[in-house]
A and B are shown apart, each in its own frame.
Chain A
């Protein structure tokens, strides 16, 4: 990124390079937001609704565009045109700002998210630290929304969200440590470069500690993203709509935009930290083709986890606040600490890692997946999904 801007600045010697940087960065940021983040968040909303519908034996949105694919555009347009109701008793400035803070928190994470080997806005040397710090901005926005709404349900939602994100920051941080230890860097590209394209070289399969770290990270990330089974802040059956209760129109949509976009961030983080990110075999010297392949790899890996998150959401009930805290403090934090110590010990005992251990880990994971698939197909066979239709039509 910087190299491109340097080249442009060199072409315009009369303009100060700082201005070129500023304009270039803003332009690139806007490009990423409008060309990538918004469509991804929007399409994720459509995918989520369709996936849910399939799981719940419904149809889901299928009217706008092929298979309802353009539903997200229609919804966005509708919400833009809707009246932005601001209730009389709210704290107006906070109430207005809150959605933007939430969106800013999640969009800012994209600054350090890698898309491909050469595609990253800024490969910060504190990349992962920056991301986990900046995504916590979301909690400020949610707390603002909850407090300023002047509604007790909203406030409960906001406070639940704050506790949730702050508490789960710790196990998530602890599960990132082993990865950082292994890679020796905080930079996102550095972490990816420390892995290879083959599953045996992924951090996830380095040792049992790393595998557990991966699970901790995914669960913690779901909790930080307010996803079921940890969607307590907006628990619709308890808190009406939580912190978003009083919002309408585009402001309400912005919260959801952040939620869906966050899913993608979670996916990218999981694949970056544990699954080798954009790594592909070096099959061609053509940089563009390679970049496209890398981008596709990253996208598919990330989207796989987005899909898993949707799946989890359609399957699991919601935990209660105290159970949620128990899970964090009594299980995830101690396990995370053990992981850090364990990984450090491993690195002292086996500085190069063990290829045998890696293969065993991969084989075990494959066995678990096979068993899981067998269970799913067993239940599918057992499931009584023969369509009966309207009984009254087919007189027996």
Chain B
């Protein structure tokens, strides 16, 4: 006697179907407007296809219409979590094309602003990482510290998020009086705080269990997918634009490039990506101290014509933003408008990799993966 294990129409009784889940565009852990189409077998994902574009504001097209100076405020919106470095990238691209030299004090102001912005962004990343894993306390603590930086930057340029601080040829305003002392005071407070955050989060058993050996990116895959910045360094590649393709006055500063060591699992897992960011905050603090110590006197902005018309030509500019090497391809045609601007951002590369990494992860791991890549949705879509 054989058991009938089929329905009348011939389907296997025990056959199961994958569930298609729609994560986003509005979802608590997608950090903006991202959408994943998840094909899952229970809690285990078969694949997570990313669907981006919800935050596409055609910034590259806008660049072709608003002119060289006019595009600066738009660069804030490319990556609003760390607007300073995007500002800097655009300014650098325009300067290289137009052959403008930035005064040394201007470069120092840029470095100070950019490193403050980097700490700001990494604090948000580390805090949000904890929150996505379910620990809410580190997030509020991190945001509390971030608030202090926002105060500082507000004093510097009047804005707390979209700074529009840099200009082609330098920066818009010199540091306000006493700013260096305030930054040092903040750093005295902040450096122990990073250790505190480390105490609070990094060693937590559940935190390690959730992140170690999850979504491991090998060195080869990281390079092939063009991961950049902390995500790349977590996979063990010691490559930092500030160090290895230096720009601005970074060669004058002494700092280290932290890489992932796989302390709790394999090199390149989510925990490594988190700890690299934590270490980078310490290095940024180091750079800040040196920059304030060595701040030269002089003008902060070079003489740049209001009607800026760089000669025809093309340039690739690489800037180390908190989310890694931001690669700008700018074409000038000798008019007062850029001919073409293309921005390849860190989050873009990371997003492209999620589909490959998501196979076989659990849904909860996808949340950890997005957080560990520190994906900022507007940066993907521009």
Q: Interface residues, chain A, CB within 8 Å of chain B?
A: 52, 55-58, 152-153, 156, 228-229, 231, 235-240, 314-323, 379, 382-384, 386, 388, 390-392, 395-396
**CA–CA, A314 to B135, complex, Å?**
7
Most chain-A CB neighbours within 10 Å: which of B140, B181, B186?
B140
* 8 Å CB contact of B186 from A236, A321, A379, A388: A388
Interface residues of B in 354-382 (CB under 8 A from A): 362-365, 367
Residues of A with C-beta under 8 A to B177: 395
Contact B186 A320 (CB under 8 A): no
In the complex, what residue of chain A is closest to B132 when comparing beta carbons?
A237
A235-B364, A320-B362, A320-B365 are known contacts. Are A391 and B137 too (CB-CB below 8 A)? no
Binds A, one of B87-95, B144-152, B303-311: B144-152
B85 contacts the other chain (CB 8 A):
no
- Structural contact, A379 and B199, CB atoms closer than 8 A: yes
Instruction: Give the distance to chain A from B144, nearest Cβ to Cβ, in Å.
Output: 6
Our pick among B154, B182, B206 for the contact of A229 (Cβ within 8 Å) is B206
Is B10 an interface position by the 8 A CB rule?
no
Chain B residues near A315 (CB-CB < 8 A)? 135, 137
B204 surroundings in chain A (CB, below 8 A): 316-317
Q: Does B189 lie within 8 Å of A323, measured CB to CB?
A: no
Identify 18 new A-B residue pairs, CB closer than 8 A, beyond the known A318-B206, A388-B186: A55-B137, A58-B140, A156-B43, A238-B29, A238-B363, A314-B137, A316-B135, A317-B134, A317-B135, A318-B364, A321-B43, A383-B196, A388-B185, A388-B189, A391-B152, A392-B154, A395-B178, A396-B178
The minimal Cβ–Cβ distance linking B148 to chain A, given in whole angstroms, is 6
Residue of chain B at shortest CB distance from A388: B189
Asked if B209 contacts A319 (CB within 8 A), the reply is yes
Inside 8 A of A236's CB, which chain B residues have their CB? 28
B333 within 8 Å of A by Cβ?
no
- The answer to the question of B19 belonging to the interface, with a C-beta cut-off of 8 Å to chain A, is yes
Report the 8 A-B pairs with minimum CB-CB distance, sorted nearest first: A318-B134, A56-B140, A317-B135, A317-B133, A396-B181, A237-B29, A384-B192, A317-B134
A-B contact list, 28 entries, CB within 8 Å: A56-B137, A58-B140, A156-B21, A156-B43, A235-B364, A237-B28, A237-B29, A237-B131, A237-B133, A237-B134, A237-B367, A238-B364, A239-B363, A315-B135, A315-B137, A317-B210, A318-B134, A318-B206, A319-B206, A319-B209, A322-B43, A382-B196, A382-B199, A384-B196, A390-B148, A391-B148, A395-B182, A396-B185
In the complex the two chains form, what is the Cα distance from A156 to B20 in whole Å?
12
Docked complex Cα distance between A55 and B189 (Å): 19
Report how far A320 CA is from B206 CA in the complex, Å: 9
Which residues of chain A have C-beta atoms less than 8 A from B136's C-beta?
52, 56, 314
Inter-chain contacts of B182 with A (CB < 8 A):
391-392, 395-396
> Please, how many angstroms separate the alpha-carbon atoms of A152 and B154 in the complex?
43
**Contact residues of B between 139 and 187, Cβ < 8 Å to A:** 140-141, 144, 148, 151-152, 154-155, 177-178, 181-182, 184-186
Question: Taking A238-B29, A317-B206, A379-B199 as contacts, is the C-beta distance between A391 and B135 under 8 angstroms?
Answer: no
When distances are taken between beta carbons in the complex, the residues of chain B under 8 Å from A52 are 136
Q: Which residues in A have their C-beta under 8 angstroms from that of B155?
A: 392
Contact present for B151 and A390 (CB under 8 Å): yes
Known A316-B204, A390-B151; contact A235-B134, beta-carbon cutoff 8 A = yes
Chain B residues with CB below 8 A from A152, complex form: 19, 21-22
Is the pair A318, B133 in contact by a Cβ cutoff of 8 Å? yes
The CA-CA distance from A23 to B207 in the complex, in Å, is 53
Q: How far is the CA of A55 from the CA of B139 in the complex (A)?
A: 12
B135 touches A240 (CB 8 A): no
- Cα A229 to Cα B207 in complex, Å, equals 11
CA distance A315 to B207 in the complex (A): 11
For the complex formed, measure the closest distance between the CB of A118 and the CB atoms of chain B, giving whole angstroms.
42
Q: How far is the CB of A97 from chain B (nearest CB, A)?
A: 25
Question: Which residues of B in the span 90-141 have a Cβ within 8 Å of any Cβ on A?
Answer: 130-137, 140-141
Q: A316-B204, A317-B207, A320-B362 are in contact. Are A153 and B21 (CB under 8 A)?
A: yes
B225 close to chain A: CB less than 8 A: no
The reply to whether B152 and A392 form a contact with Cβ atoms under 8 Å apart is yes
If over half of B's interface residues share one DSSP class (helix, strand or loop), that class is named, otherwise mixed; here it is helix
Minimal beta-carbon separation of A207 from chain B (angstroms): 27
| Complex-state Cα separation, A142 to B189, whole angstroms | 46
Q: Is the CB of A321 within 8 A of B134?
A: no
Looking across the interface, which residue of chain A has its beta carbon closest to that of B155? A392
B151 to chain A: which residues have CB within 8 Å?
Answer: 390-392
Q: Which residues of B contact A57 (CB under 8 A)?
A: 140-141, 144
Bound form: Cα–Cα A156–B141 in Å: 31
What residues of chain A lie closer than 8 Å to B29, measured between beta carbons?
Answer: 237-238
A82 to B368, CA, bound (A): 35
> With A235-B364, A392-B154 given, is the CB distance from A240 to B28 under 8 Å?
yes
B175 to chain A, nearest CB (A): 13
Least CB distance from A131 to B in Å reads 28
Say whether B61 faces chain A, with CB atoms less than 8 Å apart: no
| CB nearest neighbor in A for B144 | A57
- Residues of B near A386 (CB, < 8 A) are 189
- Residues 6-37 of B contacting A (Cβ, < 8 Å): 19, 21-22, 27-29
Q: Are B28 and A319 in contact (CB under 8 A)?
A: no
Which chain B residue lies CB-closest to A384? B192
Contact A388 B131 (CB under 8 A): no
**Given that A56-B136, A396-B185 are contacting pairs, would A320 and B210 also be in contact in the complex, using a CB cutoff of 8 Å?**
yes
- Nearest CB in chain A to that of B189: its residue: A388
What is the bound-complex CA distance between A323 and B185, given in angstroms?
43
**C-alpha spacing A390/B152, complex, angstroms:** 9
Q: Nearest Cβ distance between residue B347 and chain A, in whole angstroms?
A: 19
Looking at A237, A314, A379, the one whose CB has the most chain B CB atoms below 10 A away is: A237
Which B residues from 329 to 343 make CB contacts under 8 A with A? Answer: none
Bound: A52/B135 CA distance, A: 12
Q: Which residue of B lies closest to A241 (CB)?
A: B28
CA distance A228 to B134 in the complex (A): 8
Determine the chain B residues whose CB is within 8 A of the CB of A239 once the complex forms.
363
CB-defined contacts of B367 to chain A, threshold 8 Å: 237-238
A238 to B132, CA, bound (A): 8
Chain A hits for B137, CB < 8 A = 55-56, 314-315
Contacts of A228 in B (CB 8 A): 134
Known A-B contacts A317-B204, A392-B151; the reply to A231 vs B140 at CB < 8 A is no
A379 / chain B contacts, CB cutoff of 8 Å: 199
- A383 — which chain B residues lie within 8 A by C-beta? 196
Chain B residues with Cβ under 8 A from A237's Cβ? 28-29, 131-134, 367
**B contact residues around A320 at 8 Å (CB):** 209-210, 362, 364-365
Q: Which residues of A contact B21 (CB under 8 A)?
A: 152-153, 156
Report Cα–Cα, A382/B198, bound state, in Å: 13
Which of chain A's residues have a CB closer than 8 A to the CB of B193?
Answer: 384
